[in-house]
Structure 1
Amino acid sequence: MSSKPSVLDPVRVRIRRFQFVVGLGFLAQVIGSVLSVALAYRLTQRVQDLPEGLRLAIGVPLQNLWVLAVLPLLCYGAARIIELKPLSTAIGGVLSGQVFILALNFAWGGLEGLWPGPAVFVLQLSALAAGVLLSYRAVLKGRATAAQGAAKAQAQADARKVEYQEFLREAELGAEKAAQREAERAAAASAGNSPPSAAPAAPASEAPSPESSGETKASTPH
């Protein structure tokens, strides 16, 4: 017996979705940080000779690789499996990852670690806004791809169903024809094994009349 839906079911669904979005942002931040450190280690010597403006233009996107590349990819993959809301997923993922970064900066540098400077702050906000837009579009694209995949799977299932019905129809026709041939063979065999019918009896010869018998006797010599 199925249980009745509870009033708290929508709230539970929202809580689970919120937890999933927060975990998505945290995972994107962790993976992006690893990639950023690896790329920064390789580009450090090449970037040192560049002007400060170019270094900021390269360094800020490199530091925000998690929100510009990793989070949109995760949103796209998740949207293909789970039905997500595009805007809330994008904003929630970006905010959760950024809150984690701010918590780390506060733990390392206190209040001074929360303010990197006006130029870096503007570039940081621009990167976050771009990340929200990219994640939003990634969720939309993921849902569209999932819908196309579901439609394709449904079309294939319908085609297989039609083929199966045709196969059953042909099998039934074949069985009917085989049964008909067997019946014809049985009828022919029974007709060949039956005994031939007796020939009709010949009519009895008529008895000789007295006149003909008398004439016969008269014609006989004594």
Structure 2
Amino acid sequence: MSTSKAIFDPLRVRLLRILFTGGLGFVALVLGSMLSATLYLRFAVRVDSLPFAFLRLLLHVVRGNLWVLLVLPLLCYGASRIVELRPWSTAVGAALSSRLFLLTVEFVSAGVDGWVERGWVVALVEWSVFAVGVVLCQRAVLKGRADASSQAEQTQAQASTKQDEYAEFLREAERAGEKIAQREASSNAEPGAVHPQPAPEQAPPAPEQAEQKPEDSSKAPAA
């Protein structure tokens, strides 16, 4: 039983890590798509009115990849503050899983002809932006782990400081108790202090017959 548990535990941990990484990428893709659609509705006319074609292309690609440039790094940073994640495996896994999902959707909708019609320039710009997003995710994971460790150290330092303050408070209380005991002992040991003594017990009165014996002997006639 223990042998099988030792074998399957690493596999279970790896599977959970893969699922968690893929979940991060999918959530980032959904949120980033919503953000990209909102920005497209607001700034599409202004972007299309720009005179440079390459600048228009770059802005459109950046807008379409906000999920990997902005949303996924934020999610990786937040997750690394809670869970210890591997920088490159998390960044590449989360970004690549969502990217493969997008490529699958494009292939199903337009086929290979859709990729060919876009041209190599668009593909190069898209993959360059994607690589930048992966690097940002890796930096976010490192930043999150550093902040988490610094926060843990700060919390530990605060706990040790409070413990030292409590120990000092106990020592001060013990010192105050010792001073009070010394004062009481010195006040009891002062010279000239009047100590009430118990009253001596009164001897019981002698019987009247014992008092009358000498009188009787004096009054008796001499023989």
* Matched-pair contact (CA < 8 Å) for 1:31–1:70: yes
Shift of 1:128: 1.1
Equivalent runs, 1:135-214 vs 2, <5 Å: 135-184=137-186, 192-195=194-197
Identity %: 50
1:183 CA displacement: 4.4
Residues 123-148 of structure 1 show CA distances to partners (whole Å, capped at 9, x for unaligned) of: 11101110111111111111111111
- Corresponding residue for residue 22 of structure 1: 22
2:78 match: 77
Answer whether contact 1:102 1:114 (CA < 8 A) is retained: no
Per-residue CA deviations over 1:110-165 (Å, capped at 9, x if unaligned) read: 34445532111101110111011111111111111111111111111111111111
Aligned to 2:9: 9
Secondary structure of 2:7's counterpart equals coil
Deviation at 1:99, TM superposition (A): 1.7
SS of structure 1 residue aligned to 2:49: coil
Q: Distance in 1 between matches of 2:178 and 2:120?
A: 86
Aligned equivalents of 1:110 and 1:174: distance in 2? 86
Aligned-residue offset at 1:71: 0.9
Aligned partner of 2:35 in structure 1 is 35
Which residue of 2 is the match for residue 129 of structure 1?
Answer: 131
Q: Deviations over 1:139-195 (max 9, x none)?
A: 11111111111111111111111111101111112222233334455667xx63432
Retained in 2: the 8 A contact 1:36–1:63?
yes
Which is worse superposed, 54-63 or 7-16?
Answer: 7-16
Q: CA deviation at 1:17?
A: 1.2
Q: Moved runs in structure 1, 4+ residues, more than 6 A?
A: none
3-state DSSP of counterpart to 2:11? helix
Q: 1:175 to 1:120 in 2, by over 3 A?
A: same
Residue identity in the other structure for 2:136: L
CA contact (8 A) 1:71 1:135 kept: yes
Cα deviation, residue 66, structure 1: 0.6
Q: TM-score if structure 2 supplies the norm length?
A: 0.78
- Matched residues in 2 for 1:150 and 1:95: separation? 32
- Provide the rounded CA distance (Å) in 2 between the counterparts of 1:76 and 1:112: 38
* Residue 37 of structure 1: how far off its partner (Å): 0.5
Mapped partners of 1:19, 1:147: distance in 2: 25
Over the aligned positions, Cα root-mean-square deviation in angstroms equals 2.5
Task: Please give the alpha-carbon distance, in whole angstroms, between the structure 1 residues aligned to 2:129 and 2:58.
Answer: 11
